[in-house]
Amino acid sequence: MTGKVNRFEDLTCWQSARKLVKIVYNACLEGKLRRVFYLQSQLKWAVLSSQNNIVEGFCRFYRKEFIRFLDISQSSAGEILSMCYNLEDLEMIDQDKIDSIRIIATETRNKTLGLIRYQHRHASNKPNHLEHMNPVSSFVARGRHLNPVEICSCLAFHGANT
């Protein structure tokens, strides 16, 4: 990941989390796990949390909020790693599938932690990477309050220049 990222889809941690969702959801259709709904549900919540918190943080205005949601995401990936032991101990699915989940969950967590470290190096409560995308928010963040006419003018100008 080099340069400015304008879409969450470009984040490698999100790409890994997306792969993890697919692997976990497919695993929930296999072996004993397909009949253990509570464990399925917990796995699915954790894997979706890992992916969706990356996006929610990315869409926040302030960098500290982005970091907070990335931390939730990496914690959810850690939860999946812990649950792999449950899957293994209870022989819920094939070992190969558990190993695949472990590998992708570890990759997702490590990439997310790497992004957290990167964000911390640039941390303050400065606006996040999205400031250029929303001109109204950038004025408000600087302490300037706009009236409705100014907001419409600002949005119209911004739309005309994209």
Pick from 73, 86, 85: which is nearest to 39 by CA? 86
Q: What is the total residue count of the chain? A: 162
Q: How many domains does the chain have?
A: 2
Q: Are 101 and 27 in contact (CB under 8 A)?
A: yes
Pick from 57, 105, 98, 55: which is nearest to 78 by CA? 105
Collect the ranges in the chain with pLDDT lower than 50.
1, 130-136, 138-142, 154, 157-162
33/93 same-domain check: yes
- The helix/strand/coil state of 62 is strand
97/17 same-domain check: yes
110/137 same-domain check: no
Alpha-carbon distance 98 to 32, whole Å? 13
- Rounded percentage of the chain residues whose pLDDT exceeds 70: 73
Taking only the tens place, the pLDDT of each residue in 33-78 is 999 999 999 999 999 999 999 999 999 989 999 999 999 999 999 9
31/94 same-domain check: yes
* Residues β-bridged to residue 127: 62
Range of the domain at 161: 130-162
| Axis-axis angle for helices 12-27, 37-58 (nearest 10) | 170
38/113 same-domain check: yes
Kindly report the CATH number assigned to the domain that includes residue 21: 1.20.1440.60
109/139 same-domain check: no
62/134 same-domain check: no
pTM of the model: 0.75
* Local structure of residue 29 (DSSP, 8 states): T
Do the domain assignments include residue 118? yes
